Chains A and B, each alone.
Chain A
Amino acid sequence: MSDSRQRIGWSREQIARNIAADIPDGSIVNLGIGLPEAVVDCVPPGRELIFHTENGLLGMGRSPAAHAADPELINAGKKSVTAVPGAAYFHQADSFAMIRGGHIDVCVLGAMQVSQTGDLANWSLGDGDAAPAVGGAMDLVAGVRTIFVAMAHCTRSGDPKLLESCTMPLTGQRVVQRVYTDLATLRVGREGFEVVNMAPGVDHRYLQQRTRGRLSFNDDPT
Chain B
Amino acid sequence: MLIGGFGAAGSPVELIHALIDQGASGLTIVSNNTGSGHVGLAALIEMGRVAKMICSFPRTSGSTVFQDLYQKGKIKLELVPQGTLAERIRAGGAGIPAFYTPTSVGTRLAHGKEHHNFAGREYVREHGLTADFALLKCSLCDRYGNLVYNKTARNFSPIMAMAASVTIVQTQVYAECGALDPEAVVTPGIYVDRIVTIENPASESSLVQAGVAYP
Contact = CB atoms under 8 A, between A and B. Distances in A.
Interface of A: 53-57, 70-74, 78, 83, 89-93, 95-96, 99-100, 124, 130-139, 142-143, 169-173
Most buried by A among B56, B103, B106, B156: B103
B17 interface: no
A91 B156 contact: yes
B153 to A, nearest CB: 4
B14 interface: no
Contact of B82 (A54, A70, A78, A172): A54
Interface in B31-70: 32, 56-61, 66-67, 70
A100 B103 contact: yes
Interface of B: 6-10, 32, 56-61, 66-67, 70-71, 77, 79-87, 89-90, 101-109, 149-159, 186, 203-206
Contact of A89 (B87, B106, B154): B154
A171 B186 CA distance: 33
A85 to B, nearest CB: 15
B86 A138 contact: no
A78 B60 contact: yes
Contact of B83 (A53, A90, A130, A136): A136
Nearest to A141: B103
Nearest to B153: A72
Contacts of A136: 56, 81-83
Given A91-B159, A99-B83, A136-B82, A72 B150 contact: yes
B103 A142 contact: yes
Nearest to B93: A93
Contacts of A71: 8-9, 203-206
Given A96-B86, A135-B57, A142 B9 contact: no
Nearest to B108: A169
Given A131-B70, A135-B57, A92 B79 contact: no
A57 B152 contact: yes
Contacts of B205: 71
Contact of A134 (B81, B156, B158): B81
Contacts of A130: 67, 70-71
A70 B9 CA distance: 9
Contacts of A83: 151
B81 A72 contact: no
Contacts of A138: 81, 83-84, 103-104, 107, 109
Contact of A92 (B67, B71, B106, B156): B156
Given A72-B151, A96-B86, A138-B103, A131 B66 contact: yes
Contacts of A135: 56-57, 81-82
Contacts of B7: 74, 78
B152 A96 contact: no
A112 to B, nearest CB: 14
